[in-house]
Amino acid sequence: MKIAVYRKAHFNAAHRLHNPNWTAEKNKEIFGKCNNDNYHGHNYDLVVKLEGPIDPDTGYVYDMKLLKDLIKEHVSDRFDHKNLNLDTDEFKTLNPTAENIAVVIWNILREKIENKYDLTVRLYETERNFVEFSGD
Amino acid sequence: MKIAVYRKAHFNAAHRLHNPNWTAEKNKEIFGKCNNDNYHGHNYDLVVKLEGPIDPDTGYVYDMKLLKDLIKEHVSDRFDHKNLNLDTDEFKTLNPTAENIAVVIWNILREKIENKYDLTVRLYETERNFVEFSGD
Amino acid sequence: MKIAVYRKAHFNAAHRLHNPNWTAEKNKEIFGKCNNDNYHGHNYDLVVKLEGPIDPDTGYVYDMKLLKDLIKEHVSDRFDHKNLNLDTDEFKTLNPTAENIAVVIWNILREKIENKYDLTVRLYETERNFVEFSGD
Amino acid sequence: MKIAVYRKAHFNAAHRLHNPNWTAEKNKEIFGKCNNDNYHGHNYDLVVKLEGPIDPDTGYVYDMKLLKDLIKEHVSDRFDHKNLNLDTDEFKTLNPTAENIAVVIWNILREKIENKYDLTVRLYETERNFVEFSGD
Amino acid sequence: MKIAVYRKAHFNAAHRLHNPNWTAEKNKEIFGKCNNDNYHGHNYDLVVKLEGPIDPDTGYVYDMKLLKDLIKEHVSDRFDHKNLNLDTDEFKTLNPTAENIAVVIWNILREKIENKYDLTVRLYETERNFVEFSGD
Amino acid sequence: MKIAVYRKAHFNAAHRLHNPNWTAEKNKEIFGKCNNDNYHGHNYDLVVKLEGPIDPDTGYVYDMKLLKDLIKEHVSDRFDHKNLNLDTDEFKTLNPTAENIAVVIWNILREKIENKYDLTVRLYETERNFVEFSGD
């Protein structure tokens, strides 16, 4: 019997969408205002989902305080109030689209959470644009 | 590797639930106040989900500006500030329940979006009543 | 010592903005798609605010169950799942803009609530458009 | 062809996380402030999802008024404004974690809803912590 | 020139409405299910508003990190995961209605924040019931 | 008789809090992570409030389409997907705190909206931090 547990977190960051292999014109054409030279930014909302059995001793799938601390240490503190393109290793060469950020966060958390738990990451760039990645 | 991207939109419309094969009494019994002769209305919130691989050049599954424009042209502009029963072809003979509206929107978008992308439509009639259709 | 208490309610209705003293062209020009002949509709969210002293016996400014019932009986049941233009006395001759609906609701509630309580009505037509009336 | 319909409800309850087989120290270590002797509480938001075919006569998967009433009678009225540990049979011996509450609600509703409808229960303990159970 | 700044916080607590000078019957009649012997609970959302001039050196009315810490130390940590009636000094003899909780929080914060800042406290007991107090 | 009307908009921008008259240490001490050299960003939500009489011909205080277009042209298009410190004239020398951004937006809109309408601007930097300015 499996049940899913979810924990919501958030971080605020600057970013810019840009492909260094393209001309400035092509970048502007494809990424529009998201290509703005001097960056723009978002309040990112993150929802992390773990699926697994309920531990009969605790009644928990996973201790939410542990999950909260894991997300804070490895995701929020790493990306909050940062420029994703300039201040992080992950996005120095990877375009920080919501899709790519979600995959990066999934990979970071996948290493920290035992494989018996299925992991899904949902990332809201705005309340109108969001993505979800389950590692499949 | 697949990732889901979501885009939220909205439209405001009048509608009335009614089965022309039933008596007025049966319509009132089954649909209650949703059968009101002179219509009532809702702010519909729509969330469109596409699933597919990330394009390595853009970092996108699908350009959200294109999806936004597709939804606007083919869904929002078609249904916004309309009476679904009277002003649309789709619901002249189809009861505009949230379920049927979601299926209609799914069919409209399915024709416009390549089949390599899985498509799901979620429609909120109110924040308490909503439906989701994936074409299965 | 005064404190404000708020109660949220909602109703779903159809309406159409229209001035019968104007030509069809002028109505279309001024009200745009809100003038649609066959109506459109909204999920209206209503927030009623009362201000007054705390009753030392109850710790209440006003019993929220009473306020909830008052709003239901005199506002929600009157307007929910109705066509404001056709199904209500109030908007047969009064244009059902958010502003006018708020004033009508304020007047309805003002009669039911003792004058020692200041009354304010906030009405959301959508989450992007809303109005507030305090009787001033 | 299957479509999912969702209905949102809520109830407010007190609870305390506690394993009677453990010492007070271990309970405090594992459950932290959720173990507070005199309970604490939450506004629980519940989303019930049913999946099934659309009835061609009604355009409904399931009558939302029936689902609303089922949830009210068997879930909300049972748990609303209660102390889950003291006032309910279900949690006298079962730790009222969000996970366990969701499973209990799923079991209650599963008995009331025909098996041709797939059933999923999502329970928000706060907007930051929530769980989902589908009976698998 | 004055500008208002707002900071949102939250705490989860159990409580029970009860007037010890009344009979059990009168308590039940007036407070209904909120009088439940074994308590119930809420996720309280708190919005603290300060009004004052903008400091030209910082561009701040008040440092939001300081306000966040003040609220955490003196309000959230005091009430979070507590039974307001049993675990706090303030509500041992004061009925913990939303109104009274807001006044208590206002008084706590008023002592910690210089008088040149106007102070208002808004407290959500649920998203449907909330109160606001400005000390007037 | 006055009534308030509100219109919500949004823009996404990068910014950095910094006082050029201070040392790097003092900037870090006062602004913390908001001082990050390479900027961070937010989804800003803006609520513009106008107060005035209802026009008896339209039932409007102010045409919301006009207000929407005014905000788009003079605020959203100016700040959306920009770096406030680098890409705007207003914040080249003014620290882009939420307070200062709200005052700048108020001044921009005050010039475009007749003085018979009282104007208030509320700006959400996050859902936990927001400010409001009325020109007083």
pTM of the model: 0.97
pLDDT in tens, E7-27: 999 999 999 999 999 999 999
Chain E hits for D42, CB-CB cut-off 8 Å, are 12, 41-43
Whether B130 and D6 lie within 8 Å, measured CB to CB: yes
- Say if CB D132 and CB D122 are below 8 A apart: yes
Nearest residue of A to residue D20, measured between CA atoms: A57
Q: Is the dihedral of CA D46, C62, E76, D81 positive or negative?
A: negative
User: How buried is C95 (Cβ within 10 angstroms: 0-12 exposed, 13-18 middle, 19+ buried)?
Assistant: buried
**Phi and psi (nearest 5°) for D51?**
-120, 135
Closest CA to D117 of D76, D67, D77, D69: D67
Q: A82-83 and A3-15: which strand pairing?
A: parallel
Q: Do D6 and B99 count as a contact with CB atoms less than 8 A apart? A: no
Pick the catalytic residue from B10, B29, B40, B81: B81
Q: What are E28-79's pLDDT values in tens digits? A: 999 999 999 999 999 999 999 999 999 999 999 999 999 999 999 999 999 9
The neighbour count for residue B114, using CB atoms within 10 Å, is: 10
- Residue B30's domain comprises 3-133
Cβ contacts below 8 Å, chain E against chain F, sum to 52
Of the residues F42, F125, F127, F132, only one is catalytic, namely: F125
pLDDT tens readout for residues F89-110: 999 999 999 999 999 999 999 9
Q: How far is A114 from chain D (nearest CA, A)?
A: 19
List chain E residues with CB under 8 Å of C64. 129
CB contact under 8 A, E136 and C58: no
**Mind listing the pLDDT tens digit of every residue in chain D (136 residues)?**
999 999 999 999 999 999 999 999 999 999 999 999 999 999 999 999 999 999 999 999 999 999 999 999 999 999 999 999 999 999 999 999 999 999 999 999 999 999 999 999 999 999 999 999 999 8
Question: How far apart are alpha carbons E68 and E113 in whole angstroms?
Answer: 12
Quickly tell me which residue has 């208590």 as its tokens. E104
Cβ pair B57:A97 closer than 8 A: no
CA triple D69-D74-D79, angle to 5 deg: 115
Interface of D with A in 7-36 (CB under 8 A): 17, 19, 21-22, 30-32
Q: How far is CA C106 from CA A101, C6, C17, C111, in A?
A: 48, 14, 20, 9
Does the annotation mark D15 as catalytic?
Answer: no
Q: Which of the residues E23, E35, E97, E123 would you substitute to probe the C interface, choosing the one with the greatest number of C C-beta atoms within 10 Å?
A: E97
CB distance from D130 to chain A under 8 Å? Answer: yes
Rounded Cα gap, residues E86 and E94, in angstroms: 11
For residue E6, which residues of chain F lie inside 8 Å, CB to CB? 129-132
Q: How many domains in chain F?
A: 1
Q: Inter-chain contact D4–B132, Cβ cutoff 8 Å?
A: yes
CATH assignment of the domain containing C68 = 3.30.479.10
User: Is residue F25 among the annotated active site residues?
Assistant: no
pLDDT in tens, F8-55: 999 999 999 999 999 999 999 999 999 999 999 999 999 999 999 999
Q: Average the pLDDT over A70-80 and give the result.
A: 98
Q: What are the φ/ψ torsions at residue D16 (nearest 5 degrees)? A: -150, 135
Distances (CA, A) of F38 to A85, A87, A88, B74, F12: 9, 7, 11, 41, 16
Q: Is the ipTM of this complex over 0.90?
A: yes
User: Exposure of C103 by Cβ count < 10 A (0-12 exposed, 13-18 middle, 19+ buried)?
Assistant: buried
Q: Does the annotation count F125 as an active-site position?
A: yes
Cβ contact, residue pair D8, B99, below 8 Å: no
